[in-house]
Amino acid sequence: MKKAHNITLLGAGLIGTFYTMSIQGKRSRDRIRTVCAQTEGEAEAFARKWGIPQWTADMKKAVEDPETDIVIVGVPNYLHKKAVTLAARAGKPVLCTKPLARNAREALEILEVVDKAGVFAGYLEDLVYTPKTLKSIAAVKRGALGKVIWVRSRETHSGPHSAWFWDKKLAGGGAIVDLACHCIEIIRSFIGKDVRPAEVMCLADTMVHPIAAEDSAIALIRFENQAVGQFEVSWAFRGGMDLRDEVAGTEGTIWLNHFLRTGYEMFTAAGGKGYVAEKAEGETGWLFPVGDEVHELGYTNMFGDMFDALDANRQPEETFLDGYIVNAIMDSCYRSAKTRRWEPVRLERWYPGAKPAKAKAPKKAARGRYSLIKEERMPDGTLKQLLQDWKTGRVVQKVKKA
């Protein structure tokens, strides 16, 4: 029988709300028992709204509540290290929201804190847990797409609600740190998490908002097996929240749309009657709500995996090591955006025992002088072949009689 967990939640903002809805939703056995916010007042209001018996503004006290057995970190980025350290010292399993840290160095420190303490640690990257993403990853693993060669992940909206997100020092960056952390894990999950990211080319710019951080960015990530990951993030998108993933393989294609085109379309001239969807723009005209945001954004599956992993004494799908790798890739992106060159991804930690994946360039498949590019059966029954002649470098056409 599965255990029922009692949880300390640090952070009572939007992410805390999503986490609470998810953990306490449906017929779940688990409950938030203590919530910690910046002020007592905020903490109490949140606790009363969600039926949480205890509240405080004291993070240490919240973590050390003897009746809770898991700590969830949902505070701003610059407080992750402090919060995780408190949990580790209290010897409690800790789950930390994305990104793990403001940069790879800080992430490594956080990783070492939990390693030394020997506590269970899960990285709360929700978007790899969306129902569509999980099912797609399974299909890819079964070979439905052949070899994955390119993954594009896009998250764009009009910018976050809280002040600290916009503050480069508190957040560690702008749209990349806020959004690309999602995209990177989505990309890695499709390409294979044990395939090493080799190098990165990134363009980051401040195109719309008067801020010091980037509000728009694109990056290309080359993996050791030749596959390419491409993320596109922006705080300057108009029209709601655009959340799409596209996977290209040698045998197939997957297109996922998580938000604006999910089979739910509403036109209203009345409008103004309440919450439509996260980051929706406008309350009249054509709107595109999402059925069950908490589920479709992956929160439900994510906490399911975390708690099940803890109960089963196994690692969750997303660990602090994954969080560290994400930060390392984002660091490379920032370096590349500055140097304007491809920058290597520097990883001081990697999966123990992972074997390097080799690129299988199509050229090597050629035997002898000619490689077959394509062949086609013609109406007259002959077989038309296009062949690359590696000696001359030319492409030749051969027609074989039926």
Among 78, 85, 335, 342, binds a copy of itself (CB under 8 A): 342
Q: 6-10 and 31-36: which strand pairing?
A: parallel
Give dist(CA 315, CA 306) in Å, integer.
8
Question: Is residue 303 part of the contact set for a copy of itself (CB under 8 A)?
Answer: yes
| Cβ nearer to a copy of itself, comparing 312 with 396 | 396
Among 274, 352, 353, 368, binds a copy of itself (CB under 8 A): 274
Among 167, 192, 196, 349, binds a copy of itself (CB under 8 A): 167
| Cβ nearer to a copy of itself, comparing 376 with 380 | 376
By CB under 8 A, the residues from 247 to 266 that bind a copy of itself are 248-258, 261-266
Among 373, 378, 383, 399, binds a copy of itself (CB under 8 A): 373
Question: Is residue 130 part of the contact set for a copy of itself (CB under 8 A)?
Answer: yes
Question: Is residue 41 part of the contact set for a copy of itself (CB under 8 A)?
Answer: no
Q: Which helix (H) or strand (E) holds 370?
A: strand 370-377
Question: Is residue 296 part of the contact set for a copy of itself (CB under 8 A)?
Answer: yes
Question: Is residue 109 part of the contact set for a copy of itself (CB under 8 A)?
Answer: no
Question: Is residue 382 part of the contact set for a copy of itself (CB under 8 A)?
Answer: no
Write out the two tokens for 24: 């306490």
∠ Cα 245 248 253 (to 5°): 85
Question: Is residue 353 part of the contact set for a copy of itself (CB under 8 A)?
Answer: no
| Cβ nearer to a copy of itself, comparing 125 with 245 | 245
CB of 10 to a copy of itself, least distance (A): 20
Give dist(CA 290, CA 262) in Å, integer.
7
CA 99 from centroid of its chain's CA atoms:
9
Burial 348-384 (b: 16+ CB within 10 A, else e): ebeeeeeeebeeeeeeeeeeeebbeeeeeeeeeeeee
Q: 148-156 and 197-205: which strand pairing?
A: unpaired
| Cβ nearer to a copy of itself, comparing 115 with 211 | 211
Lay out the site mask for a copy of itself across 2-21 (x = CB under 8 A, - = otherwise). Answer: x-x-----------------
| Four-residue CA torsion sign, 40, 102, 168, 126 | negative
| Cβ nearer to a copy of itself, comparing 192 with 239 | 239
Tokens 């360039």 — which residue?
361
